[in-house]
Amino acid sequence: MSIQVNSIRSLFPILHQEVNGNPLIYLDNAATTQKPQAVLDALTHYYEKDNSNIHRGAHTLADRATRQFEETRESVKAYIGARESAEIIFTRGTTESINLVAKTFGAKYLQKGDEILISTLEHHSNIVPWQMLCEHTGAILKIIPITDAGELIWEEFEKLLSSKTKLVSIVHASNALGTINPAKRIIDAAHAVGAKVLLDGAQSTSHLDVDVQALDCDFLAFSAHKLYGPTGLGVLYGKRELLESMPPFLGGGEMIREVTFEKTTYNTIPFKFEAGTPSIAEVIAFKPALDFITSTGKANIHHHENDLLQYAVELLQDVKGVIPVGTAAEKIAVFSFNIQSMHPFDVGQLLDAKGIAVRTGHHCTQPLMQRLGLEGTVRASFAVYNTRAEVEVFAQAVAKIASLKNK
């Protein structure tokens, strides 16, 4: 079933505007997706009708807010195929979710000489927490190399795996190149040597079917704002037995059962990891975002986005001076490129002058850019509301810019 793009676009108010005198063409979806009206309405409704703290009040507003908050947890559980809602922890984003695992699981289970494996493709959020953990524990961080096309070198990954490997923390889909890693194969190989696996799903959860039970990952981290939901909200999925064994991340209200000056006993999961007042409105407004994806159909979305990616590649593949970056066989809808003799920032500015929003720079993947010998790239990333007509305008603009520098 194909999607009705015009009907979908009508749900997103922000898309219907001009930028620099041109219709907005928003191709920066890997950074953040736009929000449908239902998400905006949910945010407003909470503050206008239900604003109250959750889990603690006996009054009607608190009850309504708590019920809606927990309904979102149930929706997230269903969306990623978790066994139970207690395995769903709300955080501030993918970054905090990964840091939570590093500070709790990592601090408890990793010791001097233990090894953590990550890949060259990783976002800084999946590098820095592990570097900090290694500095604290004496564990060793090892890097899985990639090909020039941006794909993991499987044989090198196998060589790195050993009984010393305690954790593999791997991006499911690269934000910079779009590469889709073979998550299930990685997880099975890691489990075979006794290692746990954290999957960075910041990009994959919006483009691919992600079923944590089928994958058998131990942890999954992702952000609401890349799934048409609000900013400032993330999710950490963890297997119950792991979450129960891990110490709390932060101390304060909500994560406790009983507090005395002599001793504190901690709450059950997921509340043990949700100290303080959470982003209540954002959590509540995340549910209509998930409902939008589910009703549209993940397969339909993926097919549409992949069509846009292939169309962009087709239109630009023979344009002189345009250099694609990241040509993996399996990709999400990310087209990363450079124009010969031009800085990515300059290309981005020229596209912005035409109302075309793209991302430029290293995309928080500086080690990856160093591996590729680049300062950065221009990145166009597509979403369900983008159209073939927009891809044509984008490709024409890129071709014109390239012609100016590569006559």
Domain of 335, CATH number, reads: 3.90.1150.10
Rounded distance between C-alpha atoms, residue 252 and residue 272, angstroms: 10
The rounded mean pLDDT for the chain is 95
- Residue 269: inside a domain, yes or no? yes
Assess whether 256 and 317 both reside in one domain: no
Rounded distance between C-alpha atoms, residue 89 and residue 272, angstroms: 9
pLDDT band at residue 122 under the 50/70/90 scheme: very high
> Which uninterrupted H or E stretch holds 118?
strand 115-119
Rounded distance between C-alpha atoms, residue 271 and residue 138, angstroms: 30
Residue 296 has pLDDT above 90, yes or no: yes
- Residue 66: inside a domain, yes or no? yes
Which phi and psi angles does 247 have, rounded to 5°?
Answer: -70, 160
Rounded distance between C-alpha atoms, residue 63 and residue 60, angstroms: 5
| pLDDT tens figures, 48-93 | 999 999 987 789 999 999 999 999 999 999 999 999 999 999 999 9
Assess whether 85 and 164 both reside in one domain: yes
* Full residue range of the structural domain in which residue 11 is found: 5-30+297-405
Sign of CA dihedral 220, 223, 229, 232: positive
Residue 366 has pLDDT above 80, yes or no: yes
Assess whether 329 and 401 both reside in one domain: yes
Q: Per residue in 102-114, is it b (16+ CB within 10 Å) or e — as a string?
A: bbbbbeebbeeeb
Q: Per residue in 70-97, is it b (16+ CB within 10 Å) or e — as a string?
A: bebbebbbebbebeebbbbbbbbbbbbb
Rounded distance between C-alpha atoms, residue 123 and residue 371, angstroms: 14
Rounded distance between C-alpha atoms, residue 11 and residue 203, angstroms: 22
Q: Which two tokens stand for residue 39?
A: 């998400």
- Residue 143: inside a domain, yes or no? yes
3-state secondary structure of 95: helix
| pLDDT tens figures, 148-164 | 999 999 999 999 999 99
3-state secondary structure of 335: strand
Q: Which two tokens stand for residue 85?
A: 């809602």
Amino acid at 130: W
Assess whether 271 and 282 both reside in one domain: yes
**Closest by Cα among 368, 329, 294 to 146:** 368
Assess whether 331 and 273 both reside in one domain: no
Assess whether 310 and 364 both reside in one domain: yes
> ω into residue 270 within 30 of 0, thus cis?
yes
**Strand pairing of 234-238 and 88-91?**
antiparallel
pLDDT band at residue 407 under the 50/70/90 scheme: low
Of 263, 294, 325, the domain-final residue: 294
Q: What percent of the chain has pLDDT over 70?
A: 98
pLDDT at 405: 67
Residue with tokens 């690269």: 174
Q: Per residue in 37-58, is it b (16+ CB within 10 Å) or e — as a string?
A: eebbebbeebeeebebebbeee
The count of domains in the chain is: 2
- What's the rounded mean pLDDT across residues 128-135? 97
Rounded distance between C-alpha atoms, residue 351 and residue 390, angstroms: 12
Question: In this predicted model, which residue has the larger pLDDT, 29 or 260?
Answer: 29
Rounded distance between C-alpha atoms, residue 326 and residue 309, angstroms: 13
Residue with tokens 């570097």: 131
Residue 251 has pLDDT above 90, yes or no: no
Rg (CA), the chain: 22
- Residue 242: inside a domain, yes or no? yes
Of 294, 319, 337, the domain-final residue: 294
How many Cβ atoms sit within 10 Å of the Cβ of residue 13?
12
The CATH number for 262's domain is: 3.40.640.10
- Residue 198: inside a domain, yes or no? yes
Is-catalytic flag, 364?
Answer: yes
Assess whether 12 and 115 both reside in one domain: no
pLDDT band at residue 372 under the 50/70/90 scheme: very high
Dihedral of CA atoms 244, 246, 249, 251 in degrees, nearest 10, equals: 60
Residues, the chain: 407
pLDDT band at residue 95 under the 50/70/90 scheme: very high
Assess whether 67 and 108 both reside in one domain: yes
Region of poorest pLDDT, from 50-59, 99-108, 304-313, 346-355: 50-59
3-state secondary structure of 157: helix
Of 294, 323, 343, the domain-final residue: 294
Assess whether 129 and 117 both reside in one domain: yes
Amino acid at 62: A
Assess whether 238 and 186 both reside in one domain: yes
**DSSP per-residue codes, 338-403:** EETTS-HHHHHHHHHTTTEE-EEE-TT-HHHHHHHT-S-EEEEE--TT--HHHHHHHHHHHHHHHH
Catalytic residue among 3, 40, 364, 369: 364
Question: In this predicted model, which residue has the larger pLDDT, 138 or 263?
Answer: 138
Question: In this predicted model, which residue has the larger pLDDT, 85 or 1?
Answer: 85
Assess whether 26 and 68 both reside in one domain: no
- Residue 19: inside a domain, yes or no? yes
- Residue 332: inside a domain, yes or no? yes
Q: Are 176 and 379 in contact (CB under 8 A)?
A: yes
Which residues on neighbouring strands pair with residue 22, listed in sequence order?
Answer: 19
Amino acid at 277: T
DSSP-assigned letter for residue 92: S
Which phi and psi angles does 355 have, rounded to 5°?
Answer: 85, 15
- Residue 35: inside a domain, yes or no? no
Assess whether 247 and 323 both reside in one domain: no
pLDDT at 1: 59
- What's the rounded mean pLDDT across residues 171-198? 98
